Structure formats: C-alpha cells, structure tokens
Structure 1
Amino acid sequence: MNPHVFPTTCGFFIITILIITHIPTSLGAIDEQYTNCSQNFQCANITNIGYPFWGGTRPQYCGHPRFGLNCTGDSPLITILTTTYRIFSMDTATRTLNVAREELWQNCWSSNIHNASLDTAHFNYAFDAKNVTFFYGCHRPSGGGLILTAFACTTNYTNSTFTMYATSNTMEYRNVSCNTSVLVQVNQRAAQALTDNTINVVEALDSGFGLQWEANDTNCERCVRSGGTCGSDSSASGSFVCYCSNQPSALTCNANQVTSTGGTDLKLKLVIGFSAGGGGIAILLITICCLRRPCTSIFNMGMALRKNKRVDEQNVEAFLKDCGSLAPKRYTFSDLHKLTNSFKDKLGRGGYGDVYKGKLSDGHLVAVKILSETKGNGEDFINEVASISRTSHVNVVALMGFCYESNRRALIYDFMAKGSLDKFLYNECDLELRTLYQIAVGTARGLEYLHRGCNTRIVHFDIKPQNILLDEDFCPKISDFGLAKLCQRKQSIISMTGARGTAGYIAPEVFSRAFGGVSHKSDVYSYGMLVLEMTGVREKVGEAQTSEIHFSEQIYEHLEHGRDLKLRGVNSTEEEETARKMILVGLWCIQTNPFDRPPMGRVVEMLEGSLQLLQIPPKPILFSSASHDSLGQDSSKSLSLANNVLDMSKGSLQSL
C-alpha cells in the first residue's frame, strides 16, 4: 500500500471528527417563542430586561401578566393594582425595583392621589421603604404656632388651608385638623432627610423607594438551568411556561426528549443514527491511522489545536449558561461588519482597541469596541462582559452584546452622543459648572450602585475621565470594566496581585498594602481625583516645588483661609459654593487611609447636601510636612514610597 495514503487518510479523519462533533442536537426548526423570549429587551432608558417583564416590542408570553411595562416615556412605567409607578432602575440579582409613584412624580399633589395597595402575591416593599403621611387641607387654629413640617403644594383647597407631612402614621401637631391624609412611601435616607429638614417633599418623592418582586422565580431558575427560557401562557393566571428550543414545556426542557404522542422524536433518531454511523467510521479511521507514526503526530496536533479552541469556547458557553435568559446577545464578526457598515465610522482609539459607530437592525445606535489584545483564554474578556451584564442603572453604560470568535473579541455598547468626559476637561472646556456638578453626582450614584446596589459588589479599578461617557443630555455613564473585580457584598478586602488602574487615579493601597487593604474604597480615591480634576483647580493652584508637597497642600491653604479660588466658570456666590463643595468632597475621597474615605452613598449625600455641613478634611498623611514624624520608625522608607505614589498622581494631574 502506498504510504502516502496514510497522511491523506488521517487528514480526512480529522475533518470527519470535527464535522461529527459539530452535528447539531436538533435538526428541526427552533421554536419561535423560545427565540423571541431568549433575548432581553430595552424599555425606555433601562436595558437588559428579561423575565418576568414584558412590554414594548417584547410579547406578553415572554413575561408574567402582572409585569407589563409601558415603554413610551423616558422611564418605564408599571401598574400594580390601581397605582402606576415610574421605574428608575432594576436589579435582577436581588429582584428589586427602585420606583416612585407616577402621579406624584415631580409634584406633591394630584387629584388622583390615594393610598396605594400592593399585589402582595408578587410584590413587597424593600427593607429601605419608609412610610410618610401627607395631610391635605389642614387648618391651624388662630394663634397657632409654626408648623415645621408644612410645605407648599398646589391643591384644590382654599388659601386658608395648608399641607403637612409626618414621618409616622399619626399627626404630630395638636389642634390641627385636616380634610384628608394619604400614606406614601420614600426610601429610608429620604425619610431621614425630611426629618432633618435638609430636602423638600418633592425631592423625597422623586428619590424613589424599593419594591421586591416574585414571579415563579424557582421554576424560572430550573428552566434556565435546563437550557430553556421563561415565559407564561395567555391565561389570566399567568401559568409558568418553560420555552425550549424545539417546543414549550411545563417546567424544564429535560422532559422534551419525548414527543407529545409518546414516541421518540424522529429528529432525535436521526441525530442518534448519524452519530452512531460517524462513530463507526471514526473507529475504523483511528485503527488505520495509528498504524503509521506520521499520521499519529498529525492527529495529535489537530486534537491539541481543537482542545485549545474548546477551552475558549467553554468559557463563553459557561458564562452564557450561568446568565441564562439574562445573558447579553452574542454577535458574530460578520454581524459586526454589517452593523458598522464595514467599520466605516471610527469614533476613536483607546488603550484596548478601536471604537466604531454602528446601528442595530432596529435602528438603535451603538458603539463597537474591537479589542486588540487577544492573549489568554478569554477570562479577562468574559470578566468584563459578566461585570457589565450584571448591571442596570442610568449611570452605568449599557452592554448591548459581545462578539467572541477565536482571537476576535468585541463589545457592543449603547452609543453615547457626547463621547467621554476627558475631551471636555483636557481641551477647551465649555461645560458650565452646574453641568460638571451634575456629572459628578451622576458618576457617584453609578459607583454607589456598583458597590452596593448589585447583589455582587463590582469594584471598577479604573475611574478616570476617559471612562465616563456622556449621552446627549450630558448624563454620565461609567464604562470600561476591563479591570473590574467582582466580590461578595460582605467582602471588605480584595485579594489581588499587582497594581491595576491608571497613573494619577490609583489609590495608594493598590501600589502597596502598607497603606491598607484594597477594597471598594480604592474606587472612592479614584473618584476623588476625578472630581478635583473636574473643578479645574489645576488652573489656579501651581505645581508643588518638592515631591513631598502634594497639590492638595495649596488647595488646603485656600480653603482654610477662605480665599476665593476663582476657578473657571465660577461667576457667582452659588457657583463658588458648588465648587468648594466639590473640592471638599474630592479631598475627603483621597484620604490616605482607606477607612477615612466615605462610602459612595455618603459621597452622594455630601454633594447634594449643604456646604455649611461639610468640614475641611484632615490633610492626608502622605502630603503633610510632618510626614517624617508621623510615619514612625520606617519613616524614610514609607516616605520614599509615598513620594512614588505622588509622582504617579502627578502623572495625570499636572499643574495641580
């Protein structure tokens, strides 16, 4: 026999094996309901919404009848019994909605106001929801004292009456009579702020409160684990249905091995037949090929290549299976060619690749980031996809999908019309201070959500102007989760090797554990540096002359002596107070000891609160002229390390 036949036969064998292993598990058509319900949808400004919700372009059978959404406005609306709520955000991990009553949105009076009732079979108030009683049409007896909780509100009562509130269910003032009272809900922080008289009633109502939902969640989890997607039948009871790739099922897809007539599915027989026949051919070819060593080496090489490819694919498949129906959509590279018009419109280039403008089939604009770094088995890439897919918040960028094909990897984000914040800071900044302040508040809310709003805490590790994207209304969105780490909410210290982040924004403890453990407080430090840069203090405060004196030294000099910083865009007393507030918050956030930095929830409160309530924070020990005495026996060594941290900080914040 010709020996050259064996390598050829082996090549045929390898191709045959690859074909056999790619025989699909079902030769029939994919069930239409399974296809429609497998994809998450967007409703108004919230993305990645799945079961039990439906509405807009998503059919009712993909959700539960009691969870229909109105998607026509700027925020989704849901009606529970007789009350309509505006949804600000939703957390699928904890099954929690942050909502406010629609009739009281940006108003404290409505002719339709009533005591709300919950569908307790499917909804319950979250732990932070607090009751506040509003009293309308109240009368004060002549000579009565000042009603501290009275507030201005348009009602249909006469000028002789007023409205008031109580943070308990009973009126807190004697000799006051009111025509009607209504019980409303706010979050715990807003209720406390009302008690402290630091916010008004409308602000308290607009801050929302938590609602937790329940809708056949146990059955849905079983369905997703079996490879199906969740939905319901068309009856008013909304009986649960598990949609599988070939047909619906009552609970899971494991029961779909048998047809409704009781016999084995003909399509399954075909698959078994092809597999058995292919297996026989494979055994014959293995016997022939293994008689010759050249063929064996070719076979081993082919199988090794296939094994490496399968490791990558298994990482992706494991991630998609873990996410179930909540997984982001996966695109092929040819899909990216179509939606970007062959990568025609390039938006920019970042440290990890090029970004192109694209358009989905429904006309939705997206930004497609083609990653240039393709080393490793894809764990970092899947980490970024997993981090963003767990989020749903107005101040966190929405992931529309991803592409993973061998060494080709891409992320598809919601398109941000104004680009990133850095182009407004490093070029000629034409943003008003009020806009910068709102960007700072929005970014803080986004970080608070990542640290506390998710069931799994997400630490970003790369907060900087380039990673704050702005939509057409300058609403900030935190982006680029390539360095993020996921940890349990109760986990305070993060174990990791090496520093991560961008020079100028990295917390000291990320460089050296001598400054403390790495935690979500490392993000707080980066945020503080970001806010200080946003205020424009670098245009007023000169660069330090020695490496031991940090830029904050000169800021403290201005603040402690009450000097006018005369920052850009500051033309009034109100703007001066806003700038000082941002600077004070920034200084609190960059404290050397992580425990001295406020959590992001407190940062939001400080930004939205009164300037008079903010104290000047202590000077970070790194930057104090007394550093040598404070650092103890190893002062020179610690000070040297401190100076290295300062040099890294100055790398981005030049002239501060």
Structure 2
Amino acid sequence: MAVSSLHCLLLLAVMMVNTIVADDQPGTACSEARCGENGPPIRFPFRLKDDRLQQNNDCSYPGFDLFCAGNQTAINLPIMPITALFVSKIDYKSQQLQVYSNSNCLPRLLLSGFDNRSLINSPFQLRNRGKNSKNYTQLKCTSGSGTCSTLFIPSNSEIDDYQDGVMFCTKMIEFESVPYQIYKLLWRGYDGSNIPLSWSTPDCRHCEAKGKGCRLKKGSAETECSASRKVATSGSILLLLVVSSSFYLYYLRKKNRENSRRIEKFLEDYNALKPSRYTYADIKKITDKFKDILGQGSYGTVFKGKLSNDIVVAVKILNDSTGNGEEFINEVSTMVQIYHINVVRLVGYCADGFRRALIYEFLPNDSLEKYISSSVSAGGKNPSLSWKTLQDIALGIAKGIEYLHQGCDKRILHFDIKPHNILLDQNFVPKISDFGLAKLCSKDQSAVSMATARGTLGYIAPEVFSRNFGNVSYKSDVYSFGMLLLEMVGGRRNINATDQGNMDGIYYPEWIYNLLEGDDFRILIEEEGNANIAKKLAIVGLWCIQWHPVGRPTMKVIIQMLEGERELTMPPNPFTSVGQSSTNAEQPTRAAMALELEVIPE
C-alpha cells in the first residue's frame, strides 16, 4: 500500500515538474550534482560519470567528465595521465575552473602544454596568456661541477644574468605567452595552490548571464538555453526526494541488493584506484629497453624504469615458463584489493600475448635481506641497521601481515614471508611484496587445504609439510614471520642455520632459545642499551614458531607484544618434541584447544 502511494506521488511530481519547466522554456534543464556537501556544482558542460541523472547525452560535452574521489571533485587530463587533478571551484559565468594537485610537478606539466603536445586533446587552457605573460626559454645547463640542470629564463633576457655557476647551456624549447604565475611557481616551487584553467567551447556565457541553464541542441553540437536553473533545480530536488523515498522502501524489501550492485559497479569503473594496463612496447619504453637490472630470480628479472621524470618504478618481467599464468593472475587479483603503507603498491601490469610483467612502486633501499644477512656470507660488506630501526621494521611488517589477515574483504595468506620479500623505502619503512603464492579465503574460516607445499625452505610452517602438526591457516604466515624475526636478531640466514662448522649442529632458533633461557643472550648484543629490543624480538619470534598453529599468537597480539613496554614471558620450548618426548609439548593447553581451526576446501 505504501509503495503504491509513493508511485502515485512520483507520477504527480513528474507531471508538475514537466509543466513548470515547459511553461518557462521549450528545452529541459539538465540536472545538477556535487561531490560532497561543499563541492562545486556540476552541470553542463560537465557531468559526473557515475551519476545516473546526468547520463543524458545532451547534458554533457566531450572531455568534460568529472568523478568523485571521496568528497573531492576530480578530473583526468592528458597532462596528468596517472594522477587526477582536484577541482576546487567552477565559475560557469567566466568559464573557468580552479585546479590543484598533490604533485609538485603540476607547473612543469602545464608548461609543457604550450608546445601543443600535452594539451592538444584537452578543451582547457591556461588563462591570461596575453596579459602579464611572457615568452620563456627552457635551457639544459651544465655547471662547473659537471652536474646538469634545467633553467627557465625570459626569452628576451641575457643568459649572463642567470649564469651563476653555469658553464654551458643548450636551448631546448621556447614557450610562448606563458602566464607569469606558472613561471613563478617553477622557481618558488608548487605549494598546492589553485591554478586557473579556462574553456571557450562550448560557450554558455549568454545563458549564464540570464540565469538560464545550458544544453546541446537535439542532434547538434550547438548549445541552447534551457529552463531557469532555479525552477529546474527545485523540480529536480522534489523529484529526487520522491525517487529517494520510493527506492528507500524498495531497498528495504530487497535487502539493499541493488545498492550493493551499484557500489560494485562504481568501484569497477573507478580507474583512479586501479593499476593501469600497459603493452609490451610500453614496458620497453618504461625500462629504456631493459637497461637497468635490479634483480633476478627463478620468477624472472626486475628492471628499473620510469613512468615520467619523477615517477620511478620497478618492472618485474615474468619468465615465459612460469607455470600457466597462475602466479601472474594470483598476484594481480590479490594486489588490486590491497592498499596499505606496509604493502608494496602495484602501479600497473602487462599481459601482451605470452609476455607478462608487473609494475611496482620503486623502493630505493632494496630488500631487508641486504641488511640482515650474515657478515660471513656477505663478505662483511653489507650495511647494518640500528636496533631501533629493526624494531620499527618488525612492527611495520607485523601491521602489514595483520592487514592482509583482517583488513580486506577476504583473508589473504601470503605463504612466502621472508627477508627477500620485504622491501624498504627511502625512510626504511617496510613493504611486503611478491604475492605470487598468496591464497584468498573467507574471513569467517581459518584454514585452507593445499595439494602441495608452497613457500621458501627455512620459513615454511611445519603444518604445510605435514598435517600431523595441524591445519594450514593464517598461522602459517605467523610462523614465517617468527623465523624472519629470529633472523633479524641473529643476522644470518635460517636456511644456513644448521651449518655444522659454525654451530656444532645446533638448530639456530633453538640456540637462540637456549641463550635466552640461560641468560646468556647479551653475547649477541654489542651495546647494552639494545639488549631489551633484541630480547623482545627474539621472544616474539619464538612464540611465533611454536610447532602447533594453536600455540602461535595472532598478528594482532604480536603487534601488541612489539608495541608494549612490559617484559615478555618466555614461550614453551618449541624444540623439546624434536629430539625428545615431552608431555607438555605434545598436549595443547585448554585455551589452545579452543582455537582449533576449521578446514576450508581449496
């Protein structure tokens, strides 16, 4: 009954709106939208890509598509192919919009548009090209020390006025009628302030002056004035209220399924959050024909590349013989769901015939393995990190793994946590990489079944080899993380931990446990003040490598242990069941029994 009444009210409202608008003008005004309460109004020639009420072809103009990034209004232009520009204001009377960016490259990208290469496909131009504008020349200069730099000077000036320390300059490009504000930003540095862009076509200024709306004529590229925006907007608001009320009841009856589909469609089309797809020709250009190799392994080769002068990336070219593409599909499908400060970001990918590649953000400090491998195996040349830095790195890795286990729609099991797969940025912030072996499972189930073991020897949990230890689950990542922590403490690789010559056949983690139990742990620490950090990392690591998964803590508990100031309790000896029988080692505690894991079919 309520739904039928709303349908009648909806029909009446539509008739009223059509009557009011028809009395005012023969054309119908286009609807108006916003991104957020304080966002600029979006109407012709602009349109909001994901707004169903603005899909009328007569109510938008090619090249004027906007989208919402949260509550901010954004636009993609040829000068910023990867990062969107944010729109703070749209002045329809003067046909001008104010844009800004989080990138300090915006002035240079705008300047490059003056040679008609970057802005040729854009309807927008910089304002004030005549007034307060000059011709500028871009020079490539070499200093006395041999370093190169770029110099922008007025075309009618003398190079001697700007030649402080410059030995030789070569003219590159001359830009005509450059607004002074852009030139000023090149010298002072871009601070995120607004930059005005204007458009000349389509021209709706005569309609705006009359307080009218604007739209395309039917079957024409010319514009015409439509109904008063005030009348049309009031009618649109009334219509929207009635439609919203009707759909509200409909959604309640259908359990919001339609709304969920709309959100999913929005996320699928929201290209700003997706990695870009590249051709193999693009990959060759990005890597400068595979000039700079960063690393090599069984999976393929990693090259250094550039998407632009300021965006450096790492390009992983997968071997042609790498399975049937399962690892590639695995990594791409997993990475598009992840955004976390402690997980490496997938920038793009290539699937061009049999050629496959993955493009990641470039992290200049290489992998954690470089800093913690033993001085013996590295020839004593590897740099070392302070204990405080190692603690911060351990905490960052733990937060990244906890995000994979709990922060996504599905639980992501990495299955290859090791120092080689922990990359470090310029500030030594750790980022988990290489999701080729990852598996996804439902968050309300805790274990997975696998046909074969996966991972790297020395970091693989016991249950991955034998179900006698328990079910494979997210606790398998906890075990790998524990081995990584112990390696950080001892500064050596666990796969070489049973070296008879160096350790007399003692398993390396067991050796660490014996040192802690006998209060001899300080022999590993050079400085007295670092003993507490090293001891904390070692104890947490030993908790993580308990043989049975139910005896290992979750990543949330591990984070609390690493962040806490209290002295940690020593875990049960995980090695007693290896060389000798132990009743306590074989029998889980009552609390552990409550954490038994349910098997998930693969």
Secondary structure in 1 aligned to 2:464?
A: helix
Alignment CA distance shift 1:522-1:564 (3 Å): closer
Alignment match, 2:548: 593
In the alignment, which of 491, 509, 515 is matched to residue 445 of structure 2?
A: 491
The offset of 1:487, in angstroms, is 1.4
The offset of 1:463, in angstroms, is 0.5
Do the aligned residues in 2 keep the contact of 1:509 with 1:515 (CA within 8 Å)?
yes
Do the aligned residues in 1 keep the contact of 2:372 with 2:491 (CA within 8 Å)?
no
Alignment CA distance shift 1:596-1:536 (3 Å): same
Within the alignment, does 1:58 sit opposite 2:57 as a pair? no
Alignment match, 1:565: 522
Structure 1 Cα separation of the partners of residues 328 and 558 of structure 2: 31
The offset of 1:548, in angstroms, is 9.6
Provide Cα deviations, 1:411-445, integer angstroms capped at 9, x if missing partner.
Answer: 10000001111112223342122211111111111
Secondary structure in 2 aligned to 1:482?
A: coil
Alignment match, 1:324: 269
Secondary structure in 1 aligned to 2:458?
A: coil
Amino acid aligned to 1:58: A
Alignment match, 2:432: 478
Count how many residue pairs are aligned between Structure 1 and Structure 2.
Answer: 350
Amino acid aligned to 1:493: A
Larger RCO (CA under 8 A, 6+ residues apart): 1
Structure 1 Cα separation of the partners of residues 278 and 306 of structure 2: 13
What is the correspondence of 1:86-101 to structure 2 with a 5 Å cutoff?
A: none
Do the aligned residues in 1 keep the contact of 2:521 with 2:535 (CA within 8 Å)?
no
The offset of 1:374, in angstroms, is 4.8
Alignment match, 1:232: none
Alignment CA distance shift 1:400-1:54 (3 Å): farther
Within the alignment, does 1:410 sit opposite 2:410 as a pair? no
Alignment match, 2:301: 354
In the alignment, which of 343, 347, 350 is matched to residue 400 of structure 1?
A: 347
Alignment CA distance shift 1:366-1:622 (3 Å): farther
Structure 2 Cα separation of the partners of residues 337 and 490 of structure 1: 44
Secondary structure in 2 aligned to 1:419?
A: coil
The offset of 1:561, in angstroms, is 2.2
The offset of 1:602, in angstroms, is 1.1
Do the aligned residues in 2 keep the contact of 1:393 with 1:446 (CA within 8 Å)?
yes
The offset of 1:70, in angstroms, is 8.0
Alignment CA distance shift 1:403-1:420 (3 Å): same
Secondary structure in 2 aligned to 1:505?
A: coil
The offset of 1:551, in angstroms, is 2.8
TM-score normalized with structure 1 length:
0.48
Structure 1 Cα separation of the partners of residues 536 and 434 of structure 2: 28
Structure 2 Cα separation of the partners of residues 337 and 539 of structure 1: 35
Alignment CA distance shift 1:69-1:494 (3 Å): farther
Secondary structure in 2 aligned to 1:497?
A: coil
Structure 1, unpaired ranges of 5+: 1-29, 39-49, 74-258, 266-318, 634-656
Alignment match, 1:179: none
Secondary structure in 2 aligned to 1:610?
A: coil
Alignment CA distance shift 1:375-1:444 (3 Å): closer
Provide Cα deviations, 1:199-228, integer angstroms capped at 9, x if missing partner.
Answer: xxxxxxxxxxxxxxxxxxxxxxxxxxxxxx
In the alignment, which of 550, 553, 560 is matched to residue 507 of structure 2?
A: 550
Secondary structure in 2 aligned to 1:420?
A: coil
Do the aligned residues in 2 keep the contact of 1:374 with 1:408 (CA within 8 Å)?
no
Structure 2, unpaired ranges of 5+: 1-60, 75-79, 90-98, 105-214, 222-263, 588-602
Do the aligned residues in 2 keep the contact of 1:460 with 1:484 (CA within 8 Å)?
yes
Alignment CA distance shift 1:264-1:377 (3 Å): farther
Do the aligned residues in 2 keep the contact of 1:448 with 1:600 (CA within 8 Å)?
yes
Within the alignment, does 1:582 sit opposite 2:537 as a pair? yes
Q: Percent identity?
A: 47
Provide Cα deviations, 1:279-299, integer angstroms capped at 9, x if missing partner.
Answer: xxxxxxxxxxxxxxxxxxxxx
Alignment match, 1:32: 63
Secondary structure in 2 aligned to 1:566?
A: helix
Within the alignment, does 1:522 sit opposite 2:553 as a pair? no
In the alignment, which of 478, 500, 505 is matched to residue 454 of structure 2?
A: 500
In the alignment, which of 365, 368, 372 is matched to residue 421 of structure 1?
A: 368
Structure 2 Cα separation of the partners of residues 69 and 486 of structure 1: 38
Question: Quick check: 325-334 or 409-418, which moved more?
Answer: 325-334
Secondary structure in 2 aligned to 1:354?
A: strand
Secondary structure in 1 aligned to 2:479?
A: helix
The offset of 1:620, in angstroms, is 1.3
Alignment CA distance shift 1:630-1:548 (3 Å): farther
Alignment match, 1:534: 488
Do the aligned residues in 2 keep the contact of 1:346 with 1:356 (CA within 8 Å)?
yes
Amino acid aligned to 1:562: D
What is the correspondence of 1:183-582 to structure 2 with a 5 Å cutoff?
A: 323-325=268-270, 326-361=273-308, 363-374=310-321, 378-426=325-373, 427=378, 428-536=382-490, 543=498, 550-567=507-524, 570-572=526-528, 574-582=529-537
The offset of 1:631, in angstroms, is 8.5
Alignment CA distance shift 1:462-1:580 (3 Å): same
Do the aligned residues in 2 keep the contact of 1:548 with 1:623 (CA within 8 Å)?
no
Do the aligned residues in 1 keep the contact of 2:372 with 2:492 (CA within 8 Å)?
no
Structure 2 Cα separation of the partners of residues 552 and 327 of structure 1: 42
Do the aligned residues in 2 keep the contact of 1:461 with 1:484 (CA within 8 Å)?
yes
Secondary structure in 2 aligned to 1:368?
A: strand
Secondary structure in 1 aligned to 2:453?
A: coil
Amino acid aligned to 2:452: G
Structure 2 Cα separation of the partners of residues 62 and 375 of structure 1: 47
Do the aligned residues in 2 keep the contact of 1:320 with 1:327 (CA within 8 Å)?
no
The offset of 1:506, in angstroms, is 0.4
